[in-house]
Amino acid sequence: MLDIKLIRENPDNIKKKLTIRGMKTESVDKILALDIKRRESIGEVEKLKSLRNTVSQEIAVMKKEGKDASARITDMKKVSDDIKAIDERLAEAEKMIDEVLRDIPNIAEDSVPEGKSSDDNVGFRIWGEKASGDFKYLDHVELGKKLDILDFSIGAKISGSGFPFYKGRGAVLERALINFMLDTHKLNGYTEVFMPFLVNRASMEAAEKVPKFEEDMYRTDPDDLFAIPTAEVPIVNIHRDEVLDLKDLPVKYCGYTACFRREAGSYGKDTKGFLRVHQFNKVEMINFCLPEQSYSQMEEMLNHACGILEALNVHYRVVNVCTGDMGFAASKQYDIEVWSPAENKWLEASSVSNCTDFQSRRAMIRFKRDKKTEFLHILNGSGLATSRLYVSLIESNQTPEGKIVIPKALHKYTGFEVIG
């Protein structure tokens, strides 16, 4: 959620920023008009409430002294009715402001490239080399089937398409990746957490996922719980409605969860195997920090995610995501993409975002400095999602005979060095 004061004080600048993100600007005018109405109502109603408070005191005194207070009581009856009416008007204006505000994304930082779609993202870093063996690289679905480590048809039978099924060494490899990543992040100063995969509506709202993206979520009906689309949701909510101690910042967490996404509207796109799934595994990093730290912390988080890939010798590139392709809550975003030799393309495996104070304002997560409370900045980064990393890993490390060589860093987690 944006700060309404920012909109009030500098509407033209906000409009400009919205345009850059490909958004219409009329919401700004709507908010300005509603805000004026809101503040007028507040002025009116508070004057009446103040009157009511004093007169109620007087009535108490009069009754105590045995005087007749019925005239005043009659007066106050009218005042109370008026208060009720204005309060209703006020609540209506506030609700409408909130509705509009919920549709406005975070402001892009200056270093974010302008653009409309992922085609306009700008290369930021590239590491490693494409697998270049002199043979035809099998794609992960064929390879997984041949080695009997992945079977998407079983997943489809159990749940539906987009629910992966791992088997034998394939399952062990998945678990090894998760453990390797968690251990690495712990060494980088993150506190490991394990958390609920179903969260309540308040948590989803605090993380700015709902109501805007409700149709992308799995939801349980009788209890109104949401299957988390990312561990970002539960982790951000650890500190909802809290004032953190300045000396503890930055507070860093990492944790593994399964992630659930309906991917509504993208049926038929990238449906093969792991490329787009409804359930996947991800290790997430979250950082609560001082506002002036957040962009340097962001670079650090990017390096932590990239460090995983480098330890696994996975060819990757980082793109600076453009204004049109950025996440709703992000002010700046890096995507990390890994190379698939079989698809002959880059696959998004991680996203590191600086959400500045956009989530913390909604979630009321603050710290105290010089007797004033300020919203802290929240960053999230996948480090990383396993599914597409898994694709790159097994495809790139396959041998001409169709075996998979496990990277050395994983040996102590898998207990084997080759599949097949």
Partner RNA sequence: GGAGAGGUGGGUGAGUGGCUCAAACCAACGGUUUGCUAAACCGUCAUAGGGGGUCAACCUCUAUCGAGGGUUCGAAUCCCUCCCUCUCCGCCA
| Backbone torsions φ then ψ of 306, nearest 5 degrees | -65, -35
Q: Which residue has the tokens 């062990």?
A: 172
Q: Do residues 379 and 301 make contact, with C-beta atoms less than 8 angstroms apart?
A: yes
How many residues appear in the chain? Answer: 420
> Which among 48-56, 136-144, 191-199, 294-302 is the span making contact with RNA, rule CB under 7 A?
48-56
Q: Which is nearer to RNA, 79 or 156 (CB)?
A: 79
Q: How far is the CB of 210 from RNA (least distance, A)?
A: 17
Q: Which residues from 338-377 bind RNA, rule CB under 7 A?
A: 366, 368, 372-373
- Measure the CA–CA gap between 272 and 259, rounded to whole angstroms: 18
Question: According to the binding rule CB under 7 A, does residue 55 interact with RNA?
Answer: yes
Task: Report angle CA 259, 293, 291 to the nearest 5 degrees.
Answer: 85
Q: How far is the CB of 44 from RNA (least distance, A)?
A: 9
Measured CA to CA in angstroms, residue 375 lies from 101, 190, 236, 246, 288 at distances of 18, 21, 13, 11, 10
Question: According to the binding rule CB under 7 A, does residue 64 interact with RNA?
Answer: yes
Q: Which is nearer to RNA, 206 or 314 (CB)?
A: 206
Question: According to the binding rule CB under 7 A, does residue 156 interact with RNA?
Answer: no
Question: According to the binding rule CB under 7 A, does residue 91 interact with RNA?
Answer: yes
Kindly give the interhelix angle for 294-311 and 169-187, rounded to the nearest 10 degrees: 140
Residue of 9, 10, 29, 63 interacting with RNA (CB under 7 A): 63
Structure token digits, residue 83:
């208060």
Q: How far is the CB of 68 from RNA (least distance, A)?
A: 12
Residue 324 corresponds to which amino acid? Answer: G
Question: According to the binding rule CB under 7 A, does residue 49 interact with RNA?
Answer: yes
- Measure the CA–CA gap between 398 and 150, rounded to whole angstroms: 15
Question: According to the binding rule CB under 7 A, does residue 59 interact with RNA?
Answer: yes
Q: Which residues from 298-327 bind RNA, rule CB under 7 A?
A: none
Q: Which residues bind RNA (CB under 7 A)?
A: 39, 42-43, 46-47, 49-50, 52-57, 59-60, 63-64, 73, 76-77, 79-80, 91, 243, 366, 368, 372-373
